[in-house]
Copies of this chain bind each other. A is one copy, B any other.
Amino acid sequence: MPLLIVEGPILKDKDKKRDLIIALTEAASKTYKLPREAITVLIKENSPENVGIGGQLLAERIPRCR
């Protein structure tokens, strides 16, 4: 602990995942004054069929998006 859970869309690029984890770990380490080793990040990828925004499926709201 601390733990950060990111609920986002699908993220194919491993480099983006790495960059996100570095940035979040850095921010949490600074806020809580804890070493980076104490910070865990979980990236959750949600299919656009399983996300609703404003009562619409993300899959139908932005059909070209993925």
Interface residues of A (CB under 8 A from B): 1-9, 11, 14, 16-32, 35-46, 49-60
Q: Name the B residues within 8 Å of A27 (CB-CB).
A: 20, 23-24, 27
Q: Name the B residues within 8 Å of A42 (CB-CB).
A: 1, 7, 46, 50-52
**Given contact pairs A17-B57, A27-B24, A31-B19, A45 touches B50 in the complex (Cβ within 8 A):** yes
Choose from B1, B7, B23, B59 the contact partner of A8 (Cβ within 8 Å).
B1
Q: Is the CB of B1 within 8 A of A7?
A: yes
Q: Is the CB of A53 within 8 A of B1?
A: yes
**Given contact pairs A41-B51, A44-B50, A52-B41, A8 touches B2 in the complex (Cβ within 8 A):** yes
